[in-house]
Amino acid sequence: MDILTMIAVLQRVSSARVAVDGEVTGSIKQGLVILLGVHQNDTEEDSTFLIEKTATLRIFNDEGGKMNLSIQDVGGSALVVSQFTLAGDWRKGRRPSFINAAQPDEGCRLYEHYMAGLRAHDIPVESGLFGAMMKVELVNDGPVTFVLDSKER
């Protein structure tokens, strides 16, 4: 049986925003757009692991052009967007299955836990609206994108 765990897709951006029904719910300048996918068996331990990695991962350029600085080091912000499709299983057939995604109440709780953890690291956090259809606009800086998976500890 597959081990399913929380996934965070980090995209380094120079700016980004998310809107629900035409209303902007979150907007940042330099920082990270984070797409967060929660599986049904994910725990606060998974969320905490991803919080620590997100806050300290050195993926911003220093003055020499090397990825040597974290989001904290550059004073960046995070735009966190819930994305249950990251929990989709596409391996069989042509339509993904989402039976492994967390139930909405638990998914929302862990989404909120993740954002609170980033705030505890003094990272300003903006967000989308959990469970809503959203429009995300971003300027990917690099492009630099990483996929963090809580099972990869």
Dig out the tokens for 61 from the structure: 């350029």
Dig out the tokens for 131 from the structure: 């469970």
| Active-site hit among 83, 98, 103, 146 | 83
How far apart are alpha carbons 44 and 12 in whole angstroms?
25
C-alpha separations of 30 from 60, 102, 123 in Å = 10, 30, 12
| Active-site hit among 84, 98, 103, 130 | 84
103 is catalytic: no
30 is catalytic: no
CB atoms within 10 A of CB 91: 8
| Active-site hit among 40, 85, 98, 103 | 85
Q: Are 77 and 29 in contact (CB under 8 A)?
A: yes
98 is catalytic: no
**Angle subtended at Cα 144 by Cα 142 and Cα 150, rounded to the nearest 5 degrees:** 170
Residues with catalytic roles: 83-85
